[in-house]
């Protein structure tokens, strides 16, 4: 559970009003193309698609892991536990490695993509939330309105942008995925994904997934929320899921009229 819970709930309550006020920013609804099984014990923090498989990172101290998953069956084909003192967060692929963040321990890990064996680790200030890459840089969120861009060789920050909607900073940026040049970002404790221009940080679209999974946020801890975006660039397939959800959904976006 992340420490900005009250702030996130307030933001979630205000988001519909904010989105309504920002009429210039288009909103997208969705159509479910297909659904796939998902492990209901997976506290999803990162999700990505690579060469026919899903790769997923899970959170919670003592339960964090990275996984290779069969999309069709939901079967976990390969996994590696993260040491119990770490709360696993965002995950991305870089070359022949997987790069993962942890929440409050300021430590990232590098794993071999095929074997999941550790290749190294790195440090960063503040919290680690979401992680993706644009082919040149790693892109990291930290729960604020900031996107950090990291050198994938040194893991040093090279630049950052503030995420805004009509000039208003948008906090709680969480799981990330690059989709056709934009950064898609879950907004924590909401059913909304923001489409972000990575050059300016401006939100260029809202994706409303409020009707996708009615039980989101209604689990025993309220933490079974939307969190997980993966994109199959070759076939233009967009996948979303949430923490402890029973399904991964392949969706198509539909502009709201």
Q: Is the dihedral of CA 239, 242, 248, 249 positive or negative?
A: negative
The pLDDT of residue 220 = 83
- Integer angstrom CA distances of residue 123 from 12, 83, 148, 210: 31, 16, 14, 36
Q: If you average pLDDT over residues 138-150, what whole number do you get?
A: 97
Return d(Cα 188, Cα 104) in angstroms, integer: 16
Mean pLDDT rounded to a whole number for the chain? 91
For residue range 63-88, list pLDDT tens digits in order: 999 999 999 999 999 999 999 999 99
Q: Report the DSSP pairing between strands 203-208 and 27-37.
A: parallel
Domain definitions of the chain by residue range: 5-255
- Reading the block at residue 237, the tokens are 């397939």
Q: Could you tell me which of 71, 153, 81, 76 has the C-alpha nearest to residue 116?
A: 81
* 2 pLDDT above the threshold of 80: no
- The residue whose two tokens read 């536990």 is 81
Question: What pLDDT digit, counting tens, does each position of 159-212 carry?
Answer: 999 999 999 999 999 999 999 999 999 999 999 999 999 999 999 999 999 999
For the segment 83-100, what is each residue's pLDDT rounded down to a tens digit? 999 999 999 999 999 999
CB count in 10 Å sphere of residue 122: 15
pLDDT of residue 257: 84
Please tell me the predicted confidence (pLDDT) of residue 6: 42
Q: How far apart are CA 47 and CA 69, in angstroms?
A: 10
Alpha-carbon gap, residue 145 to 150, rounded angstroms: 16
Q: The domain 5-255: what is its CATH number? A: 2.120.10.30
CB burial of residue 245 (10 Å; 0-12, 13-18, 19+): buried
Q: Which of 216, 196, 202, 132 is nearest to 165 (CA)?
A: 202
19 SS3 class: helix
CA distances in angstroms from 244 to 26, 44, 154, 158, listed in the order given:
30, 7, 34, 34
pTM above 0.85, yes or no: yes
* pLDDT > 70 fraction of the chain, expressed in percent and rounded: 91
User: Which residue from 65, 61, 72 is spatially nearest to 42, judged by alpha carbons?
Assistant: 65
- Dig out the tokens for 114 from the structure: 């095929």
């Amino acid at each position: 559970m992340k420490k900005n819970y009250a702030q996130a709930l307030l933001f979630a309550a205000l988001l519909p009003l904010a989105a309504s006020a920002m009429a210039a920013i288009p909103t997208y609804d969705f159509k479910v193309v297909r659904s796939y099984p998902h492990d209901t014990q997976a506290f999803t923090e990162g999700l990505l698609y690579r060469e026919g498989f899903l790769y997923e990172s899970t959170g919670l101290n003592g339960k964090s892991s990275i996984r290779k998953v069969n999309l069709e069956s939901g079967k976990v084909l390969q996994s590696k536990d993260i040491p119990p003192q770490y709360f696993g967060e965002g995950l991305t692929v870089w070359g022949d490695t997987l790069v993962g963040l942890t929440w409050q321990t300021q430590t990232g890990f590098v794993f071999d993509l095929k074997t999941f064996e550790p290749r190294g680790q790195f440090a960063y200030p503040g919290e680690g939330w979401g992680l993706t890459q644009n082919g040149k840089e790693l892109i990291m969120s930290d729960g604020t309105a900031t996107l950090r861009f990291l050198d994938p060789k040194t893991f040093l920050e090279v630049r950052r942008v503030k995420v805004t909607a009509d000039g208003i900073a948008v906090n709680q940026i969480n799981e990330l995925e690059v989709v056709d040049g934009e950064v898609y970002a879950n907004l924590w404790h909401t059913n909304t994904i923001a489409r972000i221009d990575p050059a300016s940080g401006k939100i260029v679209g809202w994706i409303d997934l409020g009707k996708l999974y009615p039980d989101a946020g209604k689990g025993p801890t309220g933490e079974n929320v939307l969190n997980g975006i993966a994109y199959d660039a070759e076939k233009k397939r967009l996948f979303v899921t949430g923490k402890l959800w029973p399904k991964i959904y392949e969706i198509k976006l539909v502009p709201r009229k």
